Amino acid sequence: MTDSYEPPKVWTWEKDSGGQFASTNRPIAGPTHDAPLPVGEHPLQLHSLATPNGVKVTVLLEELLEAGHDAEYDAWPIRIGDGAQFGSGFVEINPNSKIPALIDRGVAPHRRVFESGAILIYLAEKFGAFLPTDPGPRAEVLSWVMWQMGSAPFLGGGFGHFYSYAPEKWEYPIDRYAMETKRQLDVLNRELADKTHIAGDDYTIADMAIWPWYGQLCLGRLYDAAEFLDVASYGNVVRWAETLDARPAVRRGRMVNKLNGDPAMQLHERHDGSDFEHRTQDKLEG
């Protein structure tokens, strides 16, 4: 960074600020257009995208189904590149205009839940799964869920933005957020040295919260940054990431609302378990 920046006394929004998401970011809330949300046949209606925050929820839903719970759901894509997160229907269920958001139509009145961590806790409590009821283990799981919610913005909005999405490469922010991302990986690596899962021996929503970010980073799926961050040096995290990646429900969860990449891994909408066999993009386009 060769030119110093003197902040103005009052910041104003420049729409043409550059960057991959410049056209969809704005400093105000509320809807920009009228767009009711679709409604499927199941009580649980998920409106999301296969970003790490969206994958958290679809992994949990698929794990609940795998475990035999009646957690059938409809998953509808929110195309954030087109500004769908600012449609009136979506803003009604998430005033913050971020995915994912869930509507539980199986209760009266219908219940909205937004923020991925809140959705994980809500579903785990609703179905009595993947979240201990004993106060000690429960506190450990919830501590790690909150750790992830507070830490991932440094990885995604910080490192990921400046390393992959910003219109120019700037050394200072990349160094700043790379340092913090590696510190977080070291936190996980130390914790996983003598544990099967992040909160202990049992697989919980703490793993489901953390894996889509840090697990996929160590598997080379985020920001093309595995070599840059030397993720192979965090052997315990890599081992944990690979273990979760092999779970069938995790694979399915990665596919739901995925709109890019391998067509065989893209299930734009999910309404039934058979969709994974018959409605992936390779099948629809073949």
CB atoms within 10 A of CB 9: 4
253, 252, 232: which is closest to 242 by C-alpha? 232
Burial class from Cβ neighbours inside 10 Å (0-12, 13-18, 19+) for residue 102 reads: buried
User: Which domains are delineated in the chain?
Assistant: 135-248 (1.20.1050.10)
Q: Using an 8 Å Cβ cutoff, are 70 and 231 in contact? A: no
Q: Please compute, for residue 81, the number of CA atoms within 13 A of its CA located in the half-sphere on the CB side.
A: 7
3-class secondary structure, 283: helix
Element housing 151 (H / E): helix 135-153
pTM over the 0.85 mark: yes
Query: Which pLDDT score is estimated for 17?
Result: 60
Helix/strand number for the chain, H first, E second: 11, 4
Positive/negative CA dihedral, 188, 193, 199, 202? positive
Nearest to 118 by CA among 31, 42, 167, 60: 60
CB within 8 A of 175, min separation 6: which ones? none
pLDDT at residue number 4: 82
CA dihedral of residues 271, 282, 156, 197 (deg, nearest 10):
70
Per-residue confidence in pLDDT tens, the chain, 286 aa: 557 889 999 999 876 665 666 667 889 999 999 999 999 999 999 999 999 999 999 999 999 999 999 999 999 999 999 999 999 999 999 999 999 999 999 999 999 999 999 999 999 999 999 999 999 999 999 999 999 999 999 999 999 999 999 999 999 999 999 999 999 999 999 999 999 999 999 999 999 999 999 999 999 999 999 999 999 999 999 999 999 999 999 999 999 999 999 999 999 999 999 999 999 999 999 7
**247 with 58: CB under 8 angstroms?**
no
Determine the pLDDT at residue 45.
98
Beta strands in the chain (DSSP E): 44-48, 73-77, 101-104, 111-114
Q: What is the pLDDT of residue 24?
A: 74
